[in-house]
Chains A and B, each alone.
Chain A
Amino acid sequence: MSAYDVIILGGGPGGYLAAERLGHAGKKVLLVESGELGGTCLNVGCVPTKTLLNSAKLYAHAKEGSKFGVTATGLSYDWAAMQAWKKEVVEKLRGAIALTEKKLGVEVLAARGRLLGPGKVEARDAAGTSTVHEAPAVVIATGSTPIMPPIPGCRDNPKVLDSTGLLSVADVPKKLCVIGGGVIGVEFAGLFAALGSEVEVVEMMDEIIPFMDKEQAPVMRRAMKGVAFRLGCKVERIEGGTVFYRTKEGAEASCAADLVLMAVGRRANVEGWGAKEAGLDLGPKGLVVDERMRTNLPGVWAVGDVNGRSQLAHSAYRMAEVAANDILGGPDSNRMRYAALPWVVYGLPEAAGVGLTEQEAAAKGLAVKKAALPLRVSGRFCAENGFAAPGSVKVLADAADGRVLGIHLVGAYASEMIWGAAALIEQELRVADAKEIVFPHPTVCEAIREAIWAID
C-alpha cells in the first residue's frame, strides 16, 4: 500500500492531461494504464487517422494538381509506407507523453486499475500482481469503446471491423461499406475514397453528422466525391462483406464490399473496473458528473469519454483541467462549460463548428439572425481550391442581444480556424463586437468576418 495525492485511472487525453496539470502543481500522481499512453486518441483515433489522411490528401491533391499547373506522372501511394509513417508518428508522440509525465514526477503504472471505493484503487499488472494504492483524489478516465450493435452477422465476422481494426488493415479495400454516417464513418469514408476505394455509407438518419447544421451537412456530403451516401437506411444483417439494409421507402437493398466498417458510435467504458461495486452513479451515457467533474462519490472525479458528456479529446482535456482545478482548490468559477466546445470532422473537405446550430436555436426558442456565405468570398480559398470548390460559412446571432451563438464551417482549414470562433462565443461577443476583430489577409478565415458583417 502506498499513498499518493491523486490516482488516475486511464492514460488517454483526459487521464494524461489531468496527470500533467496535477503533477505540475506539485501533486504526487499515480497514473494507472494497462495499455499504451495516449488512449484512443493517440493510438487508434485522432492522430493515426490524421496521419493517414494527410498522405491521402497529398495523393488526391497531386492527382488534381494539373488545374493549378502542376502535373505529376506515375503517381501512386504506398499503403505500407503510410502505415509505417503512422506508426512512427504515434510512437514518437507516445514517447513525448511518457517523457512529459516523467518530467512532472507522475508515476505511470502499467496495470489495470480498479476502484475499490473513494480514495482506494487496486492495480493489477500483466503478471497478475496486485497492489492497492490510496489517495484522497481519484480521477476516472477510462474512455470509451466502439459499439458493436447486435446486427445479425456482425459478430465474429472478419470482414466487419471497427475503427481500430480498419486503421491497420493490410490492404486498402477496393470497396468499403461504412455503417454509420457520424464523424468516424465520414472520416474513414473520406480517407479511403481519396485512396481510390469505392465507398458506400449507410446511415439510419436522414442526414450525415447529426449535430451539424442542417444547411451545412448536405454541403459536406455533396463535396465528398467518391462516396455514395445511403441515408435513412437501416442495416438488417450482414453476410460476409455484404450489408443488407432497408431503405426509407421500405425496399431491401444491399452493398457488397470487401470490408465493412462499423461506426455507429462509442460507448463509455464503465465496466470492468469496479464502478458499480464502488457505488458510482451511472447514467445512460456514462458516469454522472457535475460541472466540476465530480461524481456522486466524494473524492472521485470522472473526465473524458467515460462520462459521455462530450466524446472529444479536447473536451477530455478541458474536463481534465476542470477536475484538476477542483482537486487543487482553484477558483470555483472554473467549471466545465459545453456551450463553446468546437468540433471538427476531418472529411475531405473538413467541417467544423461551435455553438448552436440553427435547429438547436429554434429548439431553445431563440430568435436568431444569420448569414451564410460560400467560402469563395475568401481570395485565398479560391486561389487554392478553385472557384467551384465546396465550402460554406454560417454565423448565427441572437436576434435580441446580438450575441454570436454559432459559427459553422465546411471547407479547407475549417479545423484550424474554429478555435477563434469558439473564443468569440466563449467571450459572448456580439456581432457588433466581433466586427471590430481584425482577421489576417489573405486567409480563409476572413470568410467568418464576411459572414459576421453580412448579419444586419
Chain B
Amino acid sequence: MAHVLIMPRQGNTVESCVIVRWKAAEGQGVGADEGLCEVETDKASFEVPAGEAGVLLKILHPEGDDVPVLAPIAVIGKAGEDWAAALKAATAPAGEAPRAAAPSAAPGPSAAPNASAASRPAPAASGSAPGVSPRARALAAREGIDASALAGTGPGGRVIERDLRAALAAGPGLTAAARAAVASGASAPRSGSALGGRVGIADLAAGPAAAAPGAAPGREDTRREALGQERFAETPLKSIRRIIAERMRASLAGTAQLTFNGSAKAARILELRARFKAAGPESGLAEVTIGDLVLFAVARTIPKFPSVNAHLVEGKLRVFERLHLGLAVDTPRGLMVPVIRNADLLSLRELSAEAKRLAAACAAGNVSPDELSGATFTVSNLGAFGVESFTPVLNAPEVGILGVDAIVNGVAAGPDGRPLLEPRMGLSLTVDHQIVDGAPAARILKAVADAIADIDLLLLK
C-alpha cells in the first residue's frame, strides 16, 4: 500500500505550515530519509522527510499552499500504483483529523479529496491558526493577490477577507490580463508600469524565457540606465523575511527605544576563556565561549532587575518569575531568536550547551517553533564582527535587549598612574523607556558590566 505523507506536527502551537518548495517531482524516486519538501511556519522552516522509499506518486498541495498539520501532502508508493485509492484508504472519515497510519479506515466518498480540493485549506484549519481564510483565499485568487504575503489582522494573524480588501484599496491593482496571469502562478510587484501604476503583463516577474534572448544591453540601454532606468530584481518579502520586517517595524513604531552604551573590563573573561580552552575536552568547558560567559552573566544579573525581565502588552507590564533568554542567531534564512528557557537556573555548562544546540538547530532549519517563542529578555552578540556599538532593536513585547560588542583595547590608568592598555567589551543596552528610565537602565548596564568584569567571582557564587 502506498504511503500517504502528512504535514508533520511542528510543536504545540503550529496549526498549519506553508509548503515552500518540493524537492522532488511527481514520478521521481525518493529515499525514506530524503527531504521531500521544505515547509515553513511563521517562525521557521523545516524539511519533511519522505518517510518511505518509493516513487513520489502525487503531490497534493502545490508550493505556496498553507496546509494544516496532519493533513496529507503527498503519496509515495510503487510506480503505477493508484495514489487516489491509497489516499482514500488512508484518510479518516470526515470530521476526524486525517491520519496517515489508518490502514483500513472506512472509505467514504467525501473523504477522497482530489488534488484541486486538497489545494484549499481544509476547514480543519481552525480560526486561531495563522494562514489564509477560505474567503480571503478565494478573493485573492480572483484578484491575483499573493495572500500569504499580506499581514493578517484576523485571529492569530490569519489573513482574512478584510486584509485582502485593504490590500486592494491600497494598491493600484492589476490589469485584467496580469490578474489572470497571477492567478495562474506569476508573481506581481506591488505597483507597475501600466495605466495608473497598475501592474501589467510586462511587470510580472519575468520567467527565464523573458530574460534570455537579446538581453545584451546596447548603447541605448546603457544610457537609459544612466538616466535612472536601473535594472533590478524585485521579489515580495516572504516567510521569515516578511515576519522580521513586520516585527522590526512594529517594534520601532510601538515602543520608546533608547540605547545605552558602556563597556566591561574584559581581562578576566578573556583569561577564563583561555583557561577553559586549555583545560581540554574532558573538562566539559573547552567549548564554552566568551558569548556563553556573557549569557551566563546576563542570566545571573537580569533577574535582579524584574522590570526588564518583562513584557509590555496593551498597557500592562507582565513581569516574569523566570528568565527565558532570547538569543539572536544569524541564519541563511535571516534573523531567528531561539529561547533558552529558565536561563537563570542553568549552570554555565548547561547554558552553553543549550545555546549551541539552539543555534545549530536554527542554522539547520529544524528548530521547533515552540523554541522560537517566549523570550523575556534577549541578547544579540555582534562582537565577533568587530562591531563596537550599535542600537539593538527590542524584540517586542520584551522591554530590554543587550547588544554585545567587540572586545577592544582601551586605555586605563595603571597602578603607577601611567596609561595602561586594558581590554574592554562594549555593551549596548536598549530598553523601552516607557518602562525603564535612564538611571535604572544605566544601573542595569553597570550591573551586567560588573558581572562580566568579575565573571570568575560570579561563577563561584
Q: Does B227 contact A290, Cβ atoms closer than 8 Å?
A: yes
Number of interface residues of B (CB under 8 A): 23
Taken together as a complex, chains A and B put the C-alpha atoms of A429 and B223 apart, in Å, by 33
Contact A401 B177 (CB under 8 A): yes
Q: How far is the CA of A402 from the CA of B179 in the complex (A)?
A: 12
For chain B, residues 202 to 245, give those with C-beta under 8 angstroms from any C-beta of chain A.
220, 223-224, 227-229
Q: Is the C-beta of A281 less than 8 angstroms from some C-beta in chain B? A: yes
A401 contacts which chain B residues (CB < 8 A)? 177, 180-181, 201
List residues of A (367-421) whose CB comes within 8 Å of B's CBs: 398, 401-403
Given the contacts A401-B180, A430-B180, A333 and B200 also touching, CB distance less than 8 Å: no
Q: A291-B229, A337-B194 are in contact. Are A428 and B200 (CB under 8 A)?
A: yes
Q: How far is the CB of A440 from the nearest CB of chain B, in Å?
A: 22
Question: Roughly how many angstroms separate A281 CA and B229 CA in the complex, as a whole number?
Answer: 17
Cβ contact within 8 Å between A294 and B172: no
A290 and B229 in contact, given A428-B194, A430-B177 (Cβ under 8 angstroms): yes
Chain A residues with Cβ under 8 A from B198's Cβ? 427
B446 to chain A, nearest CB (A): 50
> B172 to chain A: which residues have CB within 8 Å?
333
Q: Does B366 contact A (CB under 8 A)?
A: no
**Are A334 and B197 interface neighbours, CB within 8 A?**
yes
A197 within 8 A of B: no
Distance of A333 Cα from B194 Cα, bound (Å): 8
Instruction: State the Cβ distance, B56 to closest chain A Cβ, in Å.
Output: 30
Q: Is A296 an interface residue (CB 8 A)?
A: yes
CA distance A331 to B224 in the complex (A): 19
Q: Say whether B176 contacts A433, CB under 8 Å.
A: yes
User: With A291-B229, A428-B201 given, is the CB distance from A333 to B176 under 8 Å?
Assistant: no
Q: Do A427 and B181 touch across chains, with their CB atoms under 8 A apart?
A: no
Inside 8 A of A294's CB, which chain B residues have their CB?
227-228
Report the separation of the CA atoms of residues A290 and B226 in the bound assembly, to the nearest whole angstrom.
10
Binary A-proximity of B28-42 (CB < 8 A = 1, otherwise 0): 000000000000000
Known: A281-B223, A290-B227, A430-B176. A331 touches B197 (CB 8 A): yes
On whether the beta carbons of B197 and A333 are closer than 8 Å, the reply is yes
A289 to chain B, nearest CB (A): 9
Evaluate contact between A427 and B176: CB separation under 8 angstroms: yes
Q: How many Å lie between the Cα of A442 and that of B452 in the bound state?
A: 89
Q: Mark B173-201, 1 if CB is under 8 A from A, else 0.
A: 00111101100000000011111111011
A207 at the B interface (CB under 8 A): no
If A331-B197, A401-B181 touch, does A428 touch B191 (CB 8 Å cutoff)?
A: no
Q: Contact residue range for chain A?
A: 20 to 34
Tell me, yes or no, whether A50 is within 8 Å of chain B by CB: no
B192: chain A residues at CB < 8 Å are: 333
Q: Does the CB pair B177–A403 fall under 8 Å?
A: yes
Contacting A296 at CB < 8 Å: which of B181, B196, B223, B229? B223
| Cross-chain contact of B224 among A290, A337, A402 (Cβ < 8 A) | A290
A426: nearest chain-B partner, CB-CB: B195
Residue among B172, B194, B198 with the highest chain A CB neighbour number at 10 A: B194
CA distance A281 to B223 in the complex (A): 10
Contact B175–A427 (Cβ < 8 Å): yes
Complex CA gap A334/B197 in Å reads 6
In the complex, what residues of B have CB within 8 A of residue A237's CB? none
Chain A 256-298 against B: per-residue CB contact (8 Å), 1 yes, 0 no?
Answer: 0000000000000000000000000100000010111010100
For A413-455 the 0/1 string (1 means CB < 8 A from B) is 0000000000000111110010000000000000000000000
Give Cα distance in the complex from A429 to B198, angstroms.
13
Q: A335 within 8 Å of B by Cβ?
A: yes
Chain A residues with CB below 8 A from B194, complex form: 337, 426-428
A296/B176 in contact, CB under 8 A: no
Mask: chain B, 367-395; 1 = CB below 8 Å from A; 0 = not: 00000000000000000000000000000
Q: How far, in whole Å, are A401 and B200 apart by their CA atoms in the complex?
A: 13
- Nearest neighbor of A334 in chain B, beta-carbon distance: B197
- Taken together as a complex, chains A and B put the C-alpha atoms of A375 and B117 apart, in Å, by 47
Rounded to whole angstroms, the CA-CA distance of A291 and B177 in the bound complex is 23
CA separation between A398 and B177, bound complex, in Å?
10
Q: State the Cβ distance, B221 to closest chain A Cβ, in Å.
A: 11
8 Å CB contact of B178 from A281, A292, A333, A428: A428
Q: How far is the CB of A361 from chain B (nearest CB, A)?
A: 14
Bound-state Cα–Cα, A288 to B226, Å: 13
Q: Which residue of A lies closest to B181 (CB)?
A: A401
**Which chain A residue has the least Cβ–Cβ distance from B202?**
A339
The answer on a CB contact under 8 Å between B201 and A333 is no
User: Is the pair A333, B193 in contact by a Cβ cutoff of 8 Å?
Assistant: yes
Of chain A, the residue at the smallest CB distance from B194 is: A428
Q: How far is the CA of A291 from the CA of B193 in the complex (A)?
A: 10
> Whole-angstrom distance between the alpha carbons of A433 and B175 in the complex?
11
Flag B138-162 by CB within 8 Å of A: 1 or 0 each.
0000000000000000000000000
Which chain A residues border B223 with CB–CB below 8 Å?
281, 288, 296
Within 8 A of A (CB), among B44-66: none
What distance in Å separates the Cβ of A298 from its nearest Cβ neighbour in chain B? 9
Q: Which residue of B lies closest to A404 (CB)?
A: B177
Interface centre among B172, B175, B197, B198 (most CB of A within 10 A): B175
A429 touches B193 (CB 8 A): no
Q: How far is the CA of A296 from the CA of B222 in the complex (A)?
A: 12
Q: Which residues of B contact A403 (CB under 8 A)?
A: 176-177, 201
| Cβ–Cβ contact B197 & A429, under 8 A | no
On chain A, the residues within 8 Å of B228 by CB distance are: 290, 292, 294
Q: How far is the CA of A131 from the CA of B34 in the complex (A)?
A: 80
Looking at the assembled complex, report how far the CB atom of A363 sits from the nearest CB atom of chain B, in whole angstroms.
14
Interface residues of B (CB under 8 A from A): 172, 175-178, 180-181, 191-198, 200-201, 220, 223-224, 227-229
The 6 closest A-B pairs by CB, nearest first: A428-B175, A333-B197, A428-B177, A403-B177, A433-B176, A429-B176
List 17 additional contacts besides A296-B227, A427-B195, A428-B178; criterion CB under 8 Å: A288-B223, A290-B229, A292-B228, A333-B193, A333-B197, A335-B193, A337-B194, A401-B177, A402-B180, A403-B176, A403-B201, A426-B194, A426-B195, A428-B177, A430-B177, A430-B180, A433-B176
Q: Can you report 15 residue pairs joining A to B where beta carbons are below 8 Å apart?
A: A281-B223, A290-B224, A290-B228, A333-B192, A333-B196, A398-B177, A401-B177, A401-B201, A402-B177, A427-B176, A428-B176, A428-B178, A429-B176, A430-B176, A430-B180
A residues contacting B by CB (< 8 A) are 281, 288, 290-292, 294, 296, 331, 333-335, 337, 398, 401-403, 426-430, 433
